[in-house]
Amino acid sequence: MLEAMNTPPPNTPGQVPTSSSRNRFATKRTMYIAAAVVAVALMMVFAPW
């Protein structure tokens, strides 16, 4: 898994579904991380210090 992420496999038809699903999972994880960062920033802005 880590080796596959470090060295991307060549573009063969067999590798397309796994790479697309991995990219979809990565974008969803990035979206969750961005949402968490925005939520923390909003809490810091609107918190009554």
Give the whole-angstrom CA distance, residue 26 versus residue 32. Answer: 10
In terms of pTM, does the model score above 0.75? no
Give the whole-angstrom CA distance, residue 49 versus residue 45. Answer: 9
Q: What is the pLDDT of residues 1-45, one digit of tens each?
A: 444 444 555 555 544 555 556 666 668 888 899 999 999 999 988
pLDDT at 29: 84
- 37: tokens are 């960062």
Distances (CA, A) of 14 to 9, 10, 18, 19, 35: 10, 10, 8, 10, 33
pLDDT at 15: 47
Residues 6+ apart with CB under 8 A from 17: none
pLDDT at 35: 94
